[in-house]
């Protein structure tokens, strides 16, 4: 049975960029820290997981579905640093040379693309592992055979990766994977600039959802909420809470997203690493895969 690896590209890229030393660069000054971190993490994942195929997903630009609901969606995020932007073409080329397919679609977030692929494989009964620290993607573990591999705190570490199945997601958030959108609708998601209800934290949101089933149940039973001070607040916030739910719920049926995984090209990979003056990575390639 095939086992598929779905990699949240920019989640891994940004983590690599901020975890690696800024001083890493090629002799002509090209920054290479993110490339080093991305390669190290990706190589470790492929060596450890040994998937039948792997696909990496990137945000190409825009989030049409979410911004139609909230114009300020992700407005709190700074522009990509120039030092990172210059490394992206090399990172994408590196992924191709390692045999990864690539998926990106204008106006569609990588999370929705990953969810679509996860459902596609789950419907075939084929196991899927999603590589990302993004809490939104935990809802994919509600699908049969889907797990999430969350990276360690430090890029390049090899002993702290954690696999979450549906039970692991419940232990982490206090709600079932299918209820993560409801959970985030109540608490908000600061990373995406989605406002929640002020004062409602994870434990309160989880207790409400587990008692009343979902966000709609919480709204319909707001007169029974504890602490009582939230009863009126939830009632008055019902419109924006339902809007939040539409944004935090992944789209599992994005059309027109397909990618073929190219054959691994170790000769091309070595040539790229030599071009980037990544000597330690070259040594790694010489001893693996």
pLDDT at 157: 47
Distances (CA, A) of 117 to 66, 143, 161, 177, 257: 19, 11, 22, 17, 8
The domain limits of the chain are 4-169+251-287, 177-248
Query: How many alpha carbons lie under 13 Å from residue 51 in its C-beta half-sphere?
Result: 26
pLDDT by 10s per residue, the chain, length 289: 568 999 999 999 999 999 888 889 999 999 999 999 999 999 999 999 999 999 999 988 776 777 677 767 777 777 889 999 999 999 999 999 999 999 998 889 999 999 999 999 999 999 999 999 999 999 999 999 999 999 876 544 456 889 999 999 999 999 999 999 999 999 998 888 889 999 999 999 999 999 999 999 999 999 999 999 999 999 999 999 999 999 999 999 998 888 889 999 999 999 999 999 999 999 988 865 5
pLDDT at 159: 61
Angle CA 40–43–47, to nearest 5: 140
Instruction: Give the CA dihedral 80, 85, 89, 91, nearest 10 degrees.
Output: -70
Place of tokens 């891994």: 12
pLDDT at 153: 65
Residue (of 43, 27, 278) closest to 157 by Cα position: 43
pLDDT at 80: 87
Instruction: Give the CA dihedral 181, 183, 185, 188, nearest 10 degrees.
Output: -120
pLDDT at 20: 86
Structure tokens at 8: 């949240």
pLDDT at 271: 96
Which is the CATH superfamily of the domain at 177-248? Answer: 5' to 3' exonuclease, C-terminal subdomain (1.10.150.20)
Residue (of 122, 171, 124) closest to 147 by Cα position: 122
- Residue pair 161/179 in contact (Cβ under 8 Å)? The answer is no
DSSP annotation of 5 reads E
177-248 and 4-169+251-287 share a CATH fold? no
Beta strands of the chain (E only): which ranges? 4-8, 53-57, 101-103, 128-131, 146-150, 162-164, 188-189, 194-195
Which is the CATH superfamily of the domain at 4-169+251-287? Answer: 5'-nuclease (3.40.50.1010)
pLDDT at 287: 61
Structure tokens at 257: 């997203």
First-last CA distance in the chain: 21
- Residue pair 86/268 in contact (Cβ under 8 Å)? The answer is no
pLDDT digits 0-9 by tens, 122-160:
999 999 999 999 999 999 999 999 999 998 765 444 568
């Amino acid at each position: 049975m095939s086992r598929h690896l779905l990699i949240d590209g920019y989640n891994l890229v940004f983590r690599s960029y901020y975890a690696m030393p800024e001083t890493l660069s090629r002799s002509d000054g090209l920054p290479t820290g993110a490339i080093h971190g991305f390669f190290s993490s990706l190589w470790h994942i492929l060596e450890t997981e040994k998937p039948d195929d792997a696909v990496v997903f990137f945000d190409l630009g825009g989030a049409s579905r979410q911004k139609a609901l909230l114009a300020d969606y992700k407005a709190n995020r700074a522009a990509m640093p120039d030092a990172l932007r210059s490394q992206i073409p090399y990172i994408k080329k590196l992924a191709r040379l390692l045999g990864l397919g690539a998926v990106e679609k204008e106006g569609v977030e990588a999370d929705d693309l990953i969810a679509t692929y996860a459902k596609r494989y789950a419907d075939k009964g084929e196991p899927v592992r999603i590589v990302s620290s993004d809490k939104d993607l935990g809802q994919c573990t509600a699908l049969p055979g889907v797990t999430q591999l969350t990276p360690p705190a430090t890029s390049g570490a090899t002993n702290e990766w954690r696999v979450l199945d549906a039970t692991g997601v419940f232990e982490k958030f206090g709600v079932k994977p299918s209820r993560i959108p409801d959970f985030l609708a109540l608490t908000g998601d600061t990373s995406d600039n989605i406002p929640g209800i002020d004062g409602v934290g994870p434990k309160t949101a989880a207790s409400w959802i587990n008692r009343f089933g979902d966000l709609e149940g919480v709204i319909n039973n707001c007169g029974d909420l504890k602490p009582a001070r939230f009863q009126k607040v939830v009632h008055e916030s019902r419109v924006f809470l339902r809007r939040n739910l539409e944004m935090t719920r992944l789209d599992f049926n994005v059309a027109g997203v397909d990618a073929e995984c190219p054959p691994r090209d170790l000769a091309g990979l070595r040539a790229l690493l030599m071009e980037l003056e990544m000597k330690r990575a070259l040594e790694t390639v010489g001893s693996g895969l």
